[in-house]
Amino acid sequence: MDTLVYTTIVGLYYGMNIWLVASGLTLIFGMLGVLNFAHGSLYMMGAFLGYTFASLCGQNFWMGLVFGPIAVCVIGALLEFCFLRRVYDLDMTYQLLMTYAFVLILDNLFKIIYGSLYVSVRVPIEGIVPVMSRFIPIYYFFIIAVGVLVAVLLWFLLNKTRFGCHLRAAAFNREMSSAVGIDVPKLFTLVFGIGSAMAALGGAMTAPIQTISSGMGTAIIIMSFIVAVIGGLGSLLGAFVGAIIIGLVNSFGILWVGELSAALPYLAMIAVLLMKPAGLFGVAEE
């Protein structure tokens, strides 16, 4: 029983870690229709800039956690304003090529700035919590709590605020929204900045438990895409549920099948798509 509980908690921690990144990816695609290949690079930037701000503030992790995502939010908004908004009306291939170019540029830029060395951040919340006969780091529970809080805040933002109302209207019909006075380009820039900040938040929170490197975004973007596909592209609820599923699949997979667990997220995605091609909460196109 203790193994079951321990593995479940570890799975939820891993799932919430993916959710923090997948939420921004899903928000951007759901509202802007942009499949952002560079989201993993924004995650990497959040980890590096969080580390940098923490170092500048006397190894204060919390300063890095605040200012790292804010900096990436600004960078993401600039990328959307200067580049992406020019390809919205073109075929999605152009969006994919442009965001993939961002991946190459940003990854190599940060490799030039920080070098090929691996850096790390001290865990801000030390200590462990006894769960039956096992011990779990308190920081795992902190990440789970932040993941749930982010889900609630995003739901509130999109469903209970004027900003969310305008955003859903613009995502449904850009021309009509512009006609009634909604500044759609400004709205989309803000959304891309918020989505970028979500990726950076995930990177900054992962920094104390994972070595930071210029290529760290590759693995997380693959898992984020799997989560988004399982939940249904554009569905935040689907991404949240999908992240929990993948977290638990990965955690119990390691327990039961060891190294073969690396294939389980892909198998889970295939199984969901065979049953529901649009994803668990996606809407099939007619």
pLDDT in tens, 216-243: 888 899 999 999 999 998 899 999 999 9
- For residue 55, tell me if it sits in a domain: yes
- For residue 254, tell me if it sits in a domain: no
- For residue 13, tell me if it sits in a domain: no
- For residue 43, tell me if it sits in a domain: yes
- For residue 96, tell me if it sits in a domain: yes
- For residue 41, tell me if it sits in a domain: yes
User: Number of structural domains, the chain?
Assistant: 1
- For residue 208, tell me if it sits in a domain: yes
- Tell me which of 63-67, 81-85, 262-266, 279-283 is least confident: 279-283
- Containing domain of residue 124, as a range? 19-215
- For residue 146, tell me if it sits in a domain: yes
Give this prediction's pTM. 0.92
DSSP codes, the chain: -HHHHHHHHHHHHHHHHHHHHHHHHHHHHHHH----TTHHHHHHHHHHHHHHHHHHTTS-HHHHHHHHHHHHHHHHHHHHHHTGGGSTTS-HHHHHHHHHHHHHHHHHHHHHHHTT--B----SS--EEEETTEEEEHHHHHHHHHHHHHHHHHHHHHHHSHHHHHHHHHHH-HHHHHHTT--HHHHHHHHHHHHHHHHHHHHHHHTTTS-B-TTTHHHHHHHHHHHHHHH-TT-HHHHHHHHHHHHHHHHHHHHHHGGGGGGHHHHHHHHHHHH-TT-SS-----
pLDDT in tens, 62-119: 999 999 999 999 999 999 999 998 888 888 888 889 999 999 999 899 888 888 767 7
